[in-house]
Structure 1
């Protein structure tokens, strides 16, 4: 009897491997495209001669799609099914990539923003479809393992993307930065900007072709379809009293959790997408690759969380530690000396990795502080929702719009004060995350 159970378990694992691999590839794609923005922001600042606020709009146009297109994406999935809906999402990415070609040729900032929104729309559709598979494909008791694996793929792609962008798009432009570009004579500056813009065309043609093939492969893949019943939540036996509730607005822990996601994604995008912008303005070479440093520290934090939660610490403690470390590193960014390289000398200089100004190093360390916020907030915010779990999840996804709005606050502060002091915007964000970790997630009544 035992051997039959083991054989059945092995067969189930084998049958789930294909779908899990496909979803894993999609999560890698999410991370790659999302964190390529960290390289795009300083790149487009140079190509389109943008102010800091305008440059950050590149990331904002991408993230605002998560809010604007979330409900339309759900309608597409409902009409076409999950697998076909995600194939449509990949095709939408192809359209966005192709839009970069005329945008680069014309050096048209508005067209770049529109392309970013279309790409964000494609990812919104993909994420809306892919996330249920993480839980539904495979046994429930190993769902947490699959979630952590997907997170590592996502952040690993985030580490690779800026490096790949810099190597492919900026090949032949070693040492280029907003500062060095501004110092050029006008004729040389115009010639360099044109060459930079042209460098974007072939890589994005390649991306469009690649994703068109991926869309076809996904359409033909053995990925099983999820039925509507799979998304329903059984509230029988729910001890939270959720069966007596009539609206998700009656769950303070959820509402406060959605706000936490909003401020967290804003902090994550500021740390990941402005590091290159700030470094470029300091004259740091290869600034477009620096998002990889932030992603590397996120990966370290994520791996540490997998090792410690729940064996050593619980989710609540992890969230507290993340908020406190975020506050400490934010103060360090504001107060550090941008001409010193002591921090990077201690952390990675001994490995031969290029040194960075201390201020840039502390921005990268914010990635470590951010790593465990998302996985810690979700279970705390959804606790006790019962039949409202699905709607609660949708509300949390809406919080991703923080990545569209809060970086703009940083950009406005950077222009009115200076880029380094503007990181003070991070302090109230981490303070709120700390509040949610200490008290907010425990609230059951308003």
Structure 2
């Protein structure tokens, strides 16, 4: 059994688990990146509004609200490894339903398919995020998360490019039934990943003080009776809710925004946000924790994201899309920093705290849907104003919120 008492040098023996879980983070990004191709496709082929097409993203992320806590219970019963394998089975079922959805040209069935794949995403996120967070010292968790982030965010633009490559047409010429072949390939790959999760040598991990007989390892949590007695966690949950929403906006709206600006080959612009994120993750790998604390990284990233979101809405439209790279750069280390800052000192409430953090991922359903409604009302460029207050709150959490403790 592995605990958070592992030293940095000791984590070298966990290279295989890190690689395997990195593949799973790639799968999460790929599954979410599919939406950036499906949204404008549905908008065009079904003749629906932007708000209606963004319901696909909402359906994916709404599963986090419903299944975030049950996922933690499943992990408690069968462990991280088997839960990871189960999640890929859910993914495969959800992706399969995309095929009849396309044949029937049914938006409701697309939403059901997205929701089921979102269930898979919920169970996988509930497994891999706390796993990586506690697979080593908490102060270097953001560094491990940064490695995972590189794998995750590179997968976002690969998904629409993979679909475009297999289909062999530009987005404007694609029919819904053209997605059948690539989705059969994706289903096969995800089933293989489920088998990998089962056979891979992944040690079960627990946080310091998570067991009742080791409660003295985390004195702050020892006398607590409820997960709701950790204000730094609750403030962090809301910060994560906002973060996932604005990150999904920056990653998931690029193809749609490029198309609305009349730019050629809009799918190529899907790379703008992931490039910014990968740059940020590389900085996290290099600087955290040796030169930069996780809290300092969060503050710097919030400022960068604020700059980017303001520039997107203030500069001429034809240039605005390129400033999304600064929003993405700012988002890069928010996830790696928010998880360890919010999960610190939870002890025996670690799994419960993790379930709240996973539920907060529902922000990816709500904020992009709001973006879609605002886009319909005031245009795509002005719709990015919704990101500004979100980044302001995250800046507050980096400065003060993560320090709030009960006596």
Q: Give the TM-score, by structure 1 length.
A: 0.81
Q: Which residue of 2 aligns with 1:232?
A: 210
Q: CA deviation at 1:201?
A: 0.7
Change (3 A) 1:141 1:380: closer
Q: Which residue of 2 aligns with 1:50?
A: 48
Q: Which residue of 2 aligns with 1:343?
A: none
Residue among 186, 192, 195 paired with 1:213: 192
Change (3 A) 1:222 1:257: closer
Q: 5+ unaligned residues in a row in structure 2: which ranges? A: 1-8
Q: CA deviation at 1:311?
A: 2.9
Q: CA deviation at 1:422?
A: 1.4
Q: Which runs of 4+ in 1 moved over 4 A?
A: 78-81, 135-145, 227-231
1:288-299 aligned within 5 A: 288-299=267-278
1:46-445 aligned within 5 A: 46-134=44-132, 145-169=143-167, 171-173=168-170, 176-177=171-172, 192=173, 195-219=174-198, 221-224=199-202, 226=204, 232-233=210-211, 234-240=214-220, 242-338=221-317, 357-445=318-406
Maintained 8 Å contact 2:144/2:285: no
Maintained 8 Å contact 2:343/2:350: yes
Maintained 8 Å contact 2:142/2:294: no
Q: Which residue of 2 aligns with 1:4?
A: none
Q: Deviations over 1:178-200 (max 9, x none)?
A: xxxxxxxxxxxxxx5xx521210
Q: CA deviation at 1:213?
A: 3.2
Maintained 8 Å contact 1:163/1:292: no
Deviates more, 1:209-218 or 1:413-422: 209-218
Residue among 33, 36, 46 paired with 2:34: 36
Q: CA deviation at 1:224?
A: 4.4
Q: 5+ unaligned residues in a row in structure 1: which ranges? A: 1-8, 178-191, 339-356
Maintained 8 Å contact 1:159/1:295: yes
Q: Deviations over 1:311-360 (max 9, x none)?
A: 3332222212212222221111111112xxxxxxxxxxxxxxxxxx3111
Q: CA deviation at 1:138?
A: 7.2
Select the structure of larger CA radius of gyration.
1
Q: CA RMSD in A?
A: 2.7
Q: CA deviation at 1:404?
A: 0.6
SS of 1:311's equivalent?
coil
In the alignment of these two chains, the number of paired residues is: 397
Deviates more, 1:156-165 or 1:417-426: 156-165
Q: Deviations over 1:125-184 (max 9, x none)?
A: 222233454356679897665433222211222242232233223x232xx55xxxxxxx
